[in-house]
Amino acid sequence: MPTARAYAIDSPTGSFYPTTITRREPGPTEVLFDIKYAGICHSDIHTARGEWGPVNYPLVPGHELAGIVTQIGSQVTKFKVGDRVGVGCYVDSCGHCDICLGGQEQFCREAIYTYNGIGRDGLPTAGGYSTSFTGEERYILRIPDAIPLDAGAPLLCAGITTYAPLKKWGATPGKRVAVVGMGGLGHVGVQIAAALGAEVAVISQTRSKEADGRRFGASEYYALDEPGTLKKLRRSFDLMLSTVAAESDLDALLGCLKINAVFVDVGLPATPVSLLMQSLTGGNRVLAGSQLAGIDETQEMLDFCAEHGIAAQIETISGDQINEAYDKVVKSQVRYRYVIDTATI
Ligand SMILES: [Zn+2]
Ligand SMILES: [Zn+2]
């Protein structure tokens, strides 16, 4: 069986260490690829540190994989050796339930996550902090030539997480869209919303990212640490996309929606949030959530990003910097996504 170098962690309070893992020999419809780059998503940190429930240690996280195909199974039709490919948050689903047929495989009861899951072979799945990966061709994405593999890797999670709700809830020309929080998710969301033709505002904690926000395509920028910011923005937006994991004043944010407008959360605050229902009823407003998308829409997102020159702004790190990178992500000190160069693993 093919072996891969990897970085794993053994406990919620442990540190990442270099190790070797095995990958499956590709089956008839499977593809083996060399991972070149892997993004570090905040979800990796929540999972690795046991904050989202039970973990199968040792854990190799990573669900933003980008690389090059090295071997294909006998019945593979979608890829050939040398193709540029990526894998996002899940690697399998049943393929025939209503949810799969409806194009939302991420919610299939049999969906298998890229790491901390159990694969069809009965073995724990291991993610992108490693040098190779074997997966079903159906769940592998094509990375267009126009997208660099390093800055493109984060699109596999951050890109689709923001693209799907922006598209679903109508970020279109003539609409005023606010992206709340501009970190790993938000900085991609701003670019996508702008490319979809919407007028984009960033609502961030401070002014420190204003120049970046405007470079990513925002035409307005607001800082929450300036008194009265949200009051001034009452009934301003057709759509708000919250990428903030920290607690925020949800009633004040909902007040910034126009009548019949939509607030979508993708930031997943760790603790329950509270709100006054009047913040919704007083304007027929909608509070929504969104999680990833199906494989077809994920490919559509990659093609869209290629067409519009969208990628993450990244800081490339080596395998031995993962521990330090985790602490910096938690402290919001990354601009804007860490990507591991797997040649250093
Ligand atoms: Zn993620
Ligand atoms: Zn299914």
Q: Ligand 2 center to residue 113 CA distance, Å?
A: 13
> What pLDDT does residue 240 have?
98
d(CA 221, CA 43): 27
Predicted pLDDT at 215: 98
- Residue 253's domain is classified under what CATH number? 3.40.50.720
Which ligand approaches the C-alpha of residue 89 most closely?
Answer: 1
136 and 259 assigned to the same domain: no
Residues 170 and 268 in one domain: yes
- Residues 106, 73 share a domain: yes
What is the structure's pLDDT at 271?
A: 86
Return the closest-CA partner of residue 209 out of 231, 179, 238: 179
Task: List the structure tokens of 172.
Answer: 């279109």
Residues 153 and 300 in one domain: yes
**What is residue 22's predicted lDDT score, i.e. its pLDDT?**
95
Instruction: Please report the pLDDT score of residue 1 as a whole number.
Output: 86
Which two tokens mark 165?
Answer: 């709700």
Ligand at shortest distance from the CA of 162: 1
Residue 3 neighbours by CB distance under 10 Å: 12
Ligand number nearest CA of 88 is: 1
Q: For residues 298 and 267, state if they share a domain.
A: no
Asked if 13 and 143 sit in the same domain, the reply is: yes
Q: Which ligand is nearest to the CA of 329?
A: 1
Q: How many A from CA of 109 to the centre of ligand 2?
A: 6
| Domain count within the chain | 2
Tell me the CATH number at 93.
3.90.180.10
- Is residue 15 domain-shared with residue 107, that is, in the same domain? yes
135 Cα to the center of ligand 2, angstroms: 17
Parts of the chain with a pLDDT under 50: none
| Confidence at residue 80, expressed as pLDDT on a 0 to 100 scale | 98
Q: What's the domain range around 197? A: 159-289
